[in-house]
Amino acid sequence: MRFKVLHKVYDFRKRFGYDMCVGCGRCDMVCPEYISFANCINKLNDAVNELEGGASK
């Protein structure tokens, strides 16, 4: 799951300038482990923003 989130959001945006995930939520509905992809993306976004903000201080 970690690789999927990092690839679809962080790495893909870094390489191509836009997100691979469009935020439709279909993956949340079909996940057999009930993992919310949207929550993972939000946590990743918060962590990246914290790192970027901390590096500039």
Domain that holds residue 30: 2-56
Place of tokens 């690839």: 7
- Ranges in the chain, pLDDT < 50: 57
Predicted local confidence at residue 14, as pLDDT: 85
Please state the domain count of the chain. Answer: 1
Predicted local confidence at residue 57, as pLDDT: 47
Q: What is the pTM of this model?
A: 0.52
Predicted local confidence at residue 6, as pLDDT: 75
Quote the CA–CA distance of 14 and 16 in Å, as a whole number.
Answer: 6
Predicted local confidence at residue 54, as pLDDT: 63
Predicted local confidence at residue 55, as pLDDT: 56
Read off the amino acid at residue 6.
Answer: L
Question: CA 26 → CA 2, 5, 40, 48, distances in Å?
Answer: 18, 15, 14, 24
Longest dimension (CA), the chain: 41
CA angle, 27 then 31 then 34, to 5°: 115
